[in-house]
Structure formats: C-alpha cells, structure tokens
Amino acid sequence: MAVAQKISCAGLAPLLPRAPLSVVTGRGHQPFSALNQPRPSSLAEFKVDFHSPVGRGACSLVFAGKHVSTNFDVAIKAMSVALPVETGAIPVAEGIENENKIFNHLLSRGSHPNVVELIGCFGGTGLEAASLGLEAFKEEPVHYFVTELLEGGSLEDRIQHAPLEEEAARRVARSICEGLVSLHDQGIAHRDLKPGNVLFGAEGEATPKLIDFSHAGMMRGQERLAGELGTRGFVAPEVLAAQSYDLKCDVFSLGCLVHALLSGRPPRRHMRIGMMQQLPEGTSQEARHFLSALLNMDAKRPSSREVLQEPWLQE
C-alpha cells in the first residue's frame, strides 16, 4: 500500500543512554532564556562533538555541544542533503522548512515547560561543517537547530523496559498534553507525537518534553493541513486517508501514546471495528473511557485543551 511507504519512523531516534523513568540524570540548569544572551547565529558560538551523534533521524543528525560563552549544554540538530542520514518518509528539504517555520515562530514567544527549549537556528556551509569533523558534502548548505540538551532518556526507552503504572502514566500524559495545548494554542500541529519524541530532562519524570518539529505544520484561521506525515501506529485515520485535517490529528496520536504508556504498544486497528484497546486487566474504566474519546476514528474528538478536563487526568 502506498501509505505504508510514506508513513514511517521519520523522526528523531535518540541514542542517549537509557534511564529508568524515576531516575534523575544530568544536572539541573536554568533555561537559556534566563541567561540574557543574544540568540546564537553561527556554529562558531558552539563547541560540538561531531564524531558521536546522540540522535539520528530520517533527515537529521543530532549532536551534543556547549554554548561557548555560557557553557550551556545544547543539542544541535544538523539537517542537509549533504548528510548521510537514514532514508525516511519526509524529504530533507520539507523537514528543514518545517523546522525553520516552527523555530522562528516559537523563538519569539518563549517556551513551555513541557516543550523542549529552543535556543536558535541558523545556516552554515558544508565546507565549514566538514572542517569541524562533520561528514558532509562541502558544496551543500547545512541547517542547524539548537535546543537544550535533555539527558534523561526517552519515553520510548522507558516503556520498552516495562509499561508504566497507571498513576505514572497519568502524570506523564497530563504533562505531554499541557505541552501539546501550548503548541495548539499557537496553531501548531506536531504531527509526529510518539514516545520517541518525548524526552526527559535532568529532573526525570517530572519534566517530559516534546521534541522534533520536522513534521510540524502551522494552521492560520480556518486553514486545514494536508500531507501523510507521522509514524505508523500513531497516525490519525484522516491523515492515513489523505484527507485534510486539523489539530485533532495530534489528539488521536496522544491517545495512541497513552495506550503505549499503559500497555507498552499502540492500539491495534481493525478495518471494521476500529481501534482495539489491549490494556492490562487492572486498567481503570476512567482510563479506558479517556482512550475511547481520544481514539475516535471519525475525528469527533475533544480538542487538546478539552482533553485536559477529562476525568482521568483530574484524578
């Protein structure tokens, strides 16, 4: 099926060491925005280890580094057709355009505690990158997207170890939803919400943060989105059907993510029945009703802001 070729695991795949959800890793720090620094505008402002990527995606490589004048730990995503990245569903040029649009919008508006802090974005030459140790074609431009470095591991790593207890899943789900609301309030659809795109900061489970805007889109007014973007198992049916859609595509993905928190995997899809929940026997009825609301197949779902008012998230 054509869709199977387009919908793939095209986001960032973190390579950071795995850490249990309850373990605090890394060190706490104040946000970059509190340091009263101008936005970085060139690679020369950073010290970067280009020999050991901490993440890899379908159209990007991610490296750890430091902002030289503040010693602030950062993650630098490099995107270019010049880089030896994985083959994925989203063209590199489209991923760069999406990241640029979202970065430029959010950098002027401040960050939310459950969205990775954005620090700056800028371009450079392949020649410059190659001179610093990045394997790149010298004649191609390279685009850099800088965020805070999150060293607490990914949600994907955590649930591969074991599903979460319901109370822990509820706390994480509420935090993720709050981050999603902050994006939706600005007309931003993430379009690749999944456990691999949620990382933890130094405070462990207290700070799940949404990352990766290579699939994101912006809606203005009554505009609708189009494009078959996302990761299999987490994509809304209207996206798979190549229909136009709105921000509620992320609400469906959130439902799939919460199902994965509770069971270790996204729900199954049945052509006639729809979404089939496969949850542990002790899962509460409130959690099941919550998932039923989010996993509605015909887009009659609550908005992300309405999701925050669902009884399961209030307990």
Among this protein's residues, is 49 annotated catalytic?
Answer: no
Q: Which residue has the tokens 């191609």?
A: 140
Q: Which of 73, 192, 246, 250 is catalytic?
A: 192
Q: How, if at all, do strands 118-125 and 188-189 pair? A: unpaired
Q: Name the H helices within the chain.
A: 2-6, 92-107, 126-131, 155-161, 166-184, 237-240, 248-263, 285-294, 304-307, 311-314
CA 266 – CA 175 distance, rounded (Å): 19
Are the C-beta atoms of 144 and 61 separated by less than 8 Å?
no
Closest CA to 198 of 145, 248, 159, 170: 159
111-to-108, 253, 310 alpha-carbon distances in Å = 9, 22, 25
Q: Which residue has the tokens 């992300």?
A: 304
Backbone angles phi, psi at 307, to 5 degrees: -60, -40
Tokens of 203: 């405070």
Cβ neighbours, 10 Å, residue 186: 14
Amino acid type, 160: Q
Q: Name the H helices within 85-154.
A: 92-107, 126-131
CA 10 – CA 196 distance, rounded (Å): 11
CA 286 – CA 175 distance, rounded (Å): 18
Residues that are catalytic:
192
